[in-house]
């Protein structure tokens, strides 16, 4: 059990039909349940035991931004669960020609059993979910990337044997999808989180305040600072992400300058715990947010992290989609 402390009440969870839009959509017991399911999915797959829980079910996947990991892990995950996924590039469906998000959601709900969407404005997925009759999963918006963070928690658990009480630090763009979902995820499982970003690139205040409150209830502290040295001090887990997210390409030059002193490198990491692990959702820009010696070095678990997208998402699909 991922929740080794066992203080979380176990029981029958009615999660079927729910959406997964942010990490905050699920409480602590649900997140531990999903992680336990992910461990089970991984075991079954590694042992070659068939697990066709979603036999005959179909997941529709709309992408308005590029993707390697999210697309392939959802597609392979559905196949391994006995179902199928349909890739819908926004440019190839009428959404790209102006059909409304609401109409698209209503129509697709008549055909498929679940929907995943990767889009820009977070409001778009909220509108999509309001109009869909099947579970909607967030494959990344400008504000959140929850499926990645569930995989990150699974990876941390595998390498550290626990989640609660560990210290994670996030260095870089605080106002991006990864940072926001990490905040909610850490607060939910009782993990301490220190974030460091340059002024003007800090996290969304509403998400930060809510995460702080949730963290307090679960025994974790969520701290935001402008000092990477302070944030990384004695961290068990070091995380960063690109300085320029998808959709922000026009700001790239300005961002390279603003984030210059927030690079994760050997000097900065010398302040972390000796056995720290390094996570990055990928894709990475080596030499920008992180040096090659760190991401390709002995502390890095980024390819386990990428693999765990598959197992964590199968847990989400199996739990939310009706069968």
Q: Around Cβ 135, how many Cβ atoms within 10 Å?
A: 23
241 is catalytic: yes
309 is catalytic: yes
Shorter beta-carbon distance to ligand CP: residue 152 or 224: 152
**Rounded Cα distance, 283 and 29, in Å:** 31
**Rounded Cα distance, 278 and 275, in Å:** 10
| Residue 302 touches ligand CP, criterion: CB under 6 A | no
281 is catalytic: yes
Shorter beta-carbon distance to ligand CP: residue 44 or 246: 246
Q: Which residue in the set 104, 164, 177, 181 belongs to the binding site for ligand NVA (CB under 6 A)?
A: 177
71 is catalytic: no
Q: Minimum Å distance from CB 264 to ligand CP?
A: 17
Q: Do residues 269 and 298 make contact, with C-beta atoms less than 8 angstroms apart?
A: no
Q: How many positions of this chain bind ligand CP (CB under 6 A)?
A: 8
Q: Do residues 281 and 178 make contact, with C-beta atoms less than 8 angstroms apart?
A: yes
- Mark 228-248 as b/e (b = at least 16 C-beta within 10 Å): beebbeebbbbbbbbbbbbeb
110 is catalytic: no
Q: Minimum Å distance from CB 281 to ligand NVA?
A: 5
Instruction: Identify any residues that bridge with 168 across adjacent strands, giving them in sequence order.
Output: 193, 237
Tokens 């990337």 map to which residue?
145
| Residue 176 touches ligand NVA, criterion: CB under 6 A | yes
Partner interacting with residue 177 (select from ligand NVA, ligand CP, none; CB below 5-8 Å by kind): ligand NVA
Q: Which residue in the set 116, 193, 272, 281 belongs to the binding site for ligand CP (CB under 6 A)?
A: 281
| Residue 70 touches ligand CP, criterion: CB under 6 A | yes
Give the residue ranges of DSSP H helices in the chain.
28-47, 69-80, 101-109, 122-131, 146-160, 177-189, 205-217, 228-232, 252-258, 266-269, 292-295, 302-320
Shorter beta-carbon distance to ligand NVA: residue 280 or 318: 280
145 is catalytic: yes
Build a one-symbol-per-residue string for 115-144: x at contacts with ligand CP by CB under 6 A, - elsewhere: -------------------------x----
86 CB-side CA count, 13 A? 15
Q: Which of 118, 144, 280, 299 is catalytic?
A: 118
Shorter beta-carbon distance to ligand CP: residue 223 or 282: 282
Q: Which of 19, 241, 255, 280 is catalytic?
A: 241
Q: Do residues 41 and 318 make contact, with C-beta atoms less than 8 angstroms apart?
A: yes
Partner interacting with residue 68 (select from ligand NVA, ligand CP, none; CB below 5-8 Å by kind): ligand CP
115 CB-side CA count, 13 A? 28
The pair of three-digit structure tokens given for residue 213, joined into one six-digit string: 């409150």
Q: Which of 144, 145, 180, 311 is catalytic?
A: 145
- Please list the active-site residues: 118, 145, 148, 241, 281, 309
The site for ligand CP (CB under 6 A) is made up of 67-70, 140, 148, 281-282
The site for ligand NVA (CB under 6 A) is made up of 140, 176-178, 241-242, 245-246, 281
């Amino acid at each position: 059990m991922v929740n080794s402390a066992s203080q979380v009440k176990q029981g029958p969870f009615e999660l079927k039909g729910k959406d997964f839009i942010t990490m905050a959509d699920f409480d602590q017991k649900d997140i531990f349940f999903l992680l336990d399911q992910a461990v089970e999915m991984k075991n079954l797959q590694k042992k070659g035991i068939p697990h066709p829980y979603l036999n005959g079910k179909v997941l529709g996947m709309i992408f308005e931004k590029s993707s390697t990991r999210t697309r392939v892990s959802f597609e392979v995950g559905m196949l391994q669960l006995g179902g199928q996924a349909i890739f819908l590039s926004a440019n190839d469906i009428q959404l790209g020609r102006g059909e409304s998000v609401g109409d698209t959601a209503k129509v697709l709900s008549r055909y498929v059993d679940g929907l995943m969407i990767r889009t820009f404005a977070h409001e778009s997925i909220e509108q999509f979910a309001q109009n869909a009759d099947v579970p909607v999963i967030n494959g990344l918006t400008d504000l959140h990337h929850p499926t990645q963070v569930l995989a990150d928690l699974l990876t941390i658990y595998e390498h550290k044997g626990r989640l609660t009480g560990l210290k994670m630090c996030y260095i870089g763009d605080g106002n991006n999808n990864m940072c926001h979902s990490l905040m909610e995820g850490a607060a939910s499982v009782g993990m301490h989180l220190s974030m460091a970003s340059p002024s003007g690139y800090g996290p969304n205040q509403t998400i930060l305040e809510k995460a702080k409150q949730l963290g307090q209830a679960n025994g974790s502290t969520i701290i935001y600072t402008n000092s990477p040295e302070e944030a990384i001090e004695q961290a068990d887990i070091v995380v960063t992400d690109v300085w320029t997210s998808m959709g922000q390409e026009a700001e790239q030059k300005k961002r390279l300058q603003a984030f210059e002193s927030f690079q994760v490198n050997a000097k900065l990491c010398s302040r972390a715990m000796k056995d720290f692990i390094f996570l990055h959702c990928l894709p990475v820009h080596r030499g920008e947010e992180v040096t090659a010696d760190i991401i390709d070095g002995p502390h890095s678990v980024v390819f386990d992290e990428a693999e765990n997208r598959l197992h964590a998402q199968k847990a989400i699909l199996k739990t939310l989609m009706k069968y």
